[in-house]
Amino acid sequence: MHRDIERVLFSEDAIRARVTELGASITEDLSGQDVVLLALLKGSVIFFADLMRSVSSQIRVDFAWVSSYGDRTESRGTVDLKVFPDEDLGGKTVVVVDDILDTGRTLAAVVERLRQDQGVAAVKTCVLLDKAARRVIDLGADYVGFEVDDVFVVGYGLDHADRYRNLPYIGVLKADCYGGDEAS
């Protein structure tokens, strides 16, 4: 365990097993549809890579770069859609894949943009972590890896100031590493 981690919440083995289950559910639920998995960068990249290998039906992949935190531990309250797919997504089922659903602002902004501007047939959402205690927008994910309490989590793609993404597990970051006791 890394010295900055207070405790491990989800081990590498637990994550692997759950991601495999999520991939199987997406495969079964969306069978026969024209599916695009859309990764929200940067946080979902590790989860996304493992998830897409767990989906056994034909899929396409695309990426969006979205930010609402920057180097902060609290959301700025605004969502910056830095890069968004320019491929024609009309008539497709898009599964938006994100690392964590907390306030709901980021996922809501992406879903709204897909529905309004892209003409998609359907939008589904898949998140590795659901932190309902932080929710400010009434939004739930269609596929959830794990529910998590209101603690500051890092690892398996999740970061603080772009660090800790490479940890193979998800752990609680020690408060003295981010200068307070607020959660993210």
Write the CATH number for 39: 3.40.50.2020
By residue range, what is the domain housing residue 20? 14-148
Give the model confidence (pLDDT) of 132-175 as tens digits: 998 999 999 999 999 999 999 999 999 998 899 999 999 999 99
Distance CA 60, CA 52 (A): 9
Look at residue 154 and tell me if it is in a domain. no
**pLDDT band, residue 118 (cuts 50/70/90):** confident
Look at residue 58 and tell me if it is in a domain. yes
Look at residue 175 and tell me if it is in a domain. no
DSSP secondary-structure letter at 137? S
Dihedral Cα 70, 159, 9, 44, nearest 10 deg: 90
For the question of residue 102 being annotated catalytic, the response is: yes
CB neighbour list of residue 112: distance below 8 Å, 6 or more residues apart: none
Minimal CA–CA distance to 127: which of 54, 53, 39? Answer: 39
Answer yes or no: are the C-beta atoms of 76 and 91 closer than 8 Å.
no
Look at residue 38 and tell me if it is in a domain. yes
Total-model pTM? 0.89
pLDDT at residue 184, as a whole number: 47
**Active-site choice (99, 102, 130, 159):** 102
Answer yes or no: are the C-beta atoms of 80 and 108 closer than 8 Å.
no
Domain total in the chain? 1
Give the model confidence (pLDDT) of 22-31 as tens digits: 999 999 999 9
